Structure 1
Amino acid sequence: MNSPEASSYDSPVGDLVQRLTQSFTSEHSRPPKWIVAAPGRVNLIGEHIDYNDGFVLPMAIERYVAIAAAPRNGSHPHVASIRSVNLNESDQIDLDLLPEPKLPPTWCAYMGGVFAGFRDRIGAEKFGQLPAMDLMFESNVPIGGGLSSSAALEVATATLLEVVSGTTLGLDEKALLCQKAEHDYAGVPCGIMDQFSSVFGQENAFMMLDCQSQQIRHVPFDSNGVSVLITNSNVKHELSGGEYAQRRAQCDSALKKLAAASWRDVTPSMLDSKKQSLTDVEYSRARHVVSEIERTQKAAVAIESGQWQALGELMYASHHSLQHDYEVSCCELDLLVELARGIGLAGGVYGSRMTGGGFGGCTVTLLDSEKVVEVSNHIQKQYKKQSGIDAHLFASLPAKGAHLISC
């Protein structure tokens, strides 16, 4: 396979795979023939600019979607029978008549979109040779937390189809296939960051992704003294009217009025000089995009030079922009960031910001490794006291991208 080499059970995904293997064997009276895994991601900085030709700086996290599968006993019906361990639900995909996109999407629709894209890629004849299969998947990527659980499911599905079909996709090709599945089958016009992170993730490195050229540069991260803490607010406000698509449309409208081919051509001075041609909302959205592109480039330099305080200030500035200019934060995310800021450098915290699409989900915090437990306890206690909600916190190192598990 043209993906990272296979890993064994004693890896960050090991416990998840062992549970899944036991569940699959118990339900189907035989062990799985194939097991694959794909990680979620957290974005350190560069939010809502992946679909605006910007730069993003995510890392794959040590939380995965794992899929176990085996050929079905007997060839009929020619389906992929799928069970979600987390949701305790089952569904199936007809391998001869793949589903059409429909909204609202189900978890099976995300997988169905990948199956459909894979058939288009390898051709109907070769796809028709896939065996009827039993699939079971389990995830420890928080759902609805802005950590790309859907992209992890899509990429894991594509990785499984590579193994089963004996087809090798280019890594960028696989990521784009999964992005298209999310566009067509989930109705989410996402950028390329989530799927690229899950495919290209490397241990001990952030991924600097140029979303205009799709070029990747891995930025080494010395994690001995500094850690990344992910805090799930455990809230997800429902977005009436499609806020994500609305933000994208506002950016497109602003860029058209600025008469620029790409946001990479828009400088802060150019934006200010043409402010009168934009609505107030368009100007605010544009100011976030232009400033976030600049912050992300500076962040990569700060990581490479170990300037953690400078990186932390960029993270705080990013959150402020997302809160006020892009308006995708919420009171719970703001509270978590302020709690981290209140601990400050004296307590080992360099910076914090919301991460993901917003309106709930997670924050990402950069801090001294020796302070992870102390900081986590403080944030968890104060967040519960002030919001009445239990937060879920975990630290993660940059993790390995999608891969086959050695059974």
Structure 2
Amino acid sequence: MNSSDELDAVSETLAQLVTRVRHTHEEIYGQPPEFVVAAPGRVNLIGEHIDYNDGFVLPMAIERYVVMAGSRAGSGHAQSRFHSISMDSDALLASDGSPVDHLDTPGWACYVQGVLAGFAGVGLDVPPLDVSFDSTVPLGGGLSSSAALEVATATLLEAVTGTTLDMREKALICQKAEHDFAGVPCGIMDQFSSVFGRAGELMLLDCRSQEITAVPFTDDGVTLLITNSNVKHELNGGEYAERRSQCDSALKIIGKPSWRDVTRDDIQMCRDQLSGSEYQRASHVVGEIQRTTRAAEALSASRLTEVGELMYASHDSLSRDFEVSCRELDLLVDLARGVGEAGGVIGSRMTGGGFGGCTVTLVKTESAPALIDRLMKEYEAETGVKPSCFTSCPALGAHIVS
């Protein structure tokens, strides 16, 4: 999608997307779908790059979905046929998730294939299917389009097999799919957000115990603005794994069993043993865990100025200590920070894996249109790239539509 196509897509409601996927599915396969499911993307208010470090995160499901329609395939089909409507691409996948070697298999197929393998691994037999799907979750924007696809696939397979998995088991099957089939050693936040999302609530997720604490977000006077920089810097492809490895090596040097047991004093005591990068990563992890729990408490108590300050501090740490921001993300945050509370902006930060993608901004609802206009004009003037902006409230997680 180009940026204008993406902006049109994200403005489409779930009901409209469901109608369009139903219609396209019937056009492609010659029969209406038997099952239709939806799974959302997510945005993380605060708590970045610590879900795989036993930290806390504060995400919510967003009102942008992957909708997947499926029918049992006719006789003579040994494999499931999957069609991506938005990317106009097809894949033939074995129901047991065994690897395929088709040279033209699209990149998105690995996420689907991993979930098929997960279902086979827990003894659930999936018949050959005809499947079509589409998405209003921006691709590559740090809003978990891959997790939404995984969770939509799992939800469809639940419907087809007449099974209701334990929600944690379902999320972990999807996480394993990303590890084993996409090669991304992600934490649990993305899949848990898509599975457990609830309207009107953010979730404080303890990534060590997997315990979820609801954090109400029902004040109509404030909203979350997601701004897609529409850039994605492809460096060498291994930045995520590299930072995870640096966190692991730093923790080993510090000598504690978990980052939850590490204090700033512990980091300082080991300063001479840590490399420069390890010291920076450790500083971010310990600080971000503290910022996230404080932000959840402040949000619950409606101390929004404090939430905003913590969001800015989070971004600064991600940019300086974890080194996963980029010029475009820093610019978007600086533009929002320049508007300030006088202009309705409470706080802003990058969200997602980094090196491009999106920022999330907590803004007074009445000020959101003016902020969107300013961000779009000033960002494009500075970068030559048109951003995409949309607001969202906490949304319902994965569910069977019909």
Q: Same fold (TM over 0.5)?
A: yes
SS at match of 2:272: helix
Deviates more, 1:213-222 or 1:192-201: 213-222
Contact 1:105 1:185 in 2 (8 A): no
| Residues 196-215 of structure 1 aligned to structure 2 (within 5 Å) | 196-215=192-211
Deviations 1:190-215 (A, max 9, x none): 00000000000000100100001111
**Separation in 2, partners of 1:120, 1:290:** 36
Pick one of 338, 345, 349 that aligns with 2:341.
345
- Residue 242 of structure 1 corresponds to 238
| Aligned residue in 2 for 1:144 | 140
**Correspondence 1:366-385 to 2 at 5 A:** 366-385=362-381
- Corresponding position of 2:82: 82
Matched, 1:178 2:174: yes
> Any residues of structure 2 matched to 1:37-116 within 5 Å, and which?
37-74=38-75, 76-95=76-95, 98-99=98-99, 106-116=107-117
Task: Give the structure 1 partner of residue 256 of structure 2.
Answer: 260
1:192-231 residue pairs with structure 2 within 5 A?
A: 192-231=188-227
Q: Percent identity?
A: 57
Distance 1:94 1:101 in 2: 11
CA distance in 2: counterparts of 1:366 and 1:168, whole angstroms: 36
- Secondary structure in structure 2 of the residue aligned to 1:309: helix
* Amino acid aligned to 1:19: R
Partner Cα separation in structure 2 for residue 349 and residue 291 of structure 1: 23
Instruction: Give the distance between the partners of 1:164 and 1:91, measured in 2 at CA.
Output: 19
DSSP-derived class of the 2:235 partner: coil
Residue pair 2:179, 2:186 contacting (<8 A) in 1 also: yes
Letter in 1 for 2:34: K
Distance (whole Å) between structure 1 residues aligned to residue 90 and residue 210 of structure 2: 36
Among 293, 296, 301, the residue aligned to 2:297: 301
Q: Secondary structure at the match of 1:335?
A: helix
| 1:85-141 alpha-carbon deviations (Å, 9 max, x no partner) | 0110011112267226999982111100000011111x2xx51xx332110000010
Whole-angstrom CA distance in 2 between matches of 1:276 and 1:97: 47
Distance (Å, rounded) in 1 between the aligned partners of 2:101 and 2:164: 26
Structure 2 counterpart of 1:5: none
The structural deviation recorded for 1:241 is: 4.8
**Cα gap change, 1:37 to 1:97, in 2 (>3 Å):** closer
Give the whole-Å Cα distance in 1 for the aligned partners of 2:356 and 2:95: 37
1:284 corresponds in structure 2 to 280
1:64 partner SS:
strand
TM score, norm. by length of structure 1? 0.93
Shift of 1:374: 0.7
Unaligned runs of 5+ in 2: 1-11
For 1:14, the equivalent position in structure 2 comes to 15
Find the residue that maps to 1:253 and give its secondary structure.
helix
Describe how 1:364-403 pairs up with structure 2 within 5 A: 364-403=360-399
Distance in 1 (CA, whole Å) between partners of 2:148 and 2:97 is 24
Which residue is 1:8 aligned to?
none
2:3 corresponds to: none
* One-letter identity of the residue aligned with 1:349: V
1:329 alignment counterpart: 325
Distance 1:390 1:361 in 2: 13
Distance 1:53 1:101 in 2: 36
Give the partner amino acid of 1:92. L
Instruction: Report Cα offsets for 1:357-401 as digits up to 9, x if no partner.
Output: 000000000010011111100100100111110000000000000
1:168 equivalent in alignment to 2:164: yes
The CA deviation at 1:274 is 1.9
Moved more, 263-272 or 392-401: 263-272
Counterpart check, 1:360 vs 2:356: yes
Distance 1:95 1:376 in 2: 44
Deviation digits for residues 211-247 of structure 1, max 9, x if unmatched? 0111111111123111000000000000305000000
Question: Structure 1 residues 105 and 135 mapped into 2: Cα distance closer, same or farther (>3 Å)?
Answer: closer
Q: CA deviation at 1:291?
A: 0.2
The CA deviation string for residues 269-320 of structure 1, in whole angstroms up to 9 with x for no partner, is 2211221121111000000000000000000011101111110000000000
Give the Cα separation in 1 of the matches to 2:323 and 2:101.
30
RMSD: 1.6
- Measure the CA separation in 1 of the matches of 2:162 and 2:359: 39
Residue 96 of structure 2 contacts residue 116 of structure 2 at CA under 8 Å; is this kept in 1?
no
Letter in 2 for 1:332: E
Q: 1:299 to 1:71 in 2, by over 3 A?
A: same
Q: Is the 8 A contact 2:333 2:350 kept in 1?
A: yes
Assess, with a 3 A threshold, how the Cα gap between structure 1 residues 101 and 49 changes in structure 2: closer, same or farther: farther
> d(CA) in 2 for partners of 1:97 and 1:213?
29
Change (3 A) 1:83 1:244: same
Contact 1:227 1:367 in 2 (8 A): yes
Report how many aligned residue pairs link the two structures.
390
Q: CA deviation at 1:72?
A: 1.8
Aligned position for 1:4: none
Indicate yes or no: 2:307 matched with 1:311.
yes
Post-superposition Cα deviations, 1:44-99, rounded to whole Å, max 9, x if no partner, equal: 0000000000000000000000100111222x222110100011001111226722
Distance verdict in 2 for CA 1:105–1:113, change over 3 Å:
farther
- How far does the alpha carbon of each residue in 1:173-199 deviate from its partner, in whole angstroms, 9 at most, with x for none? 000000000000000000000000000
**What amino acid does structure 2 have at the position aligned with 1:384?**
E
**Equivalent pair of 2:97/2:120 in contact (CA under 8 Å):** no
Structure-2 change in CA distance of 1:96 and 1:357 (3 Å): closer
Cα distance change of structure 1 residues 348 and 96 upon mapping to structure 2, 3 Å threshold: closer
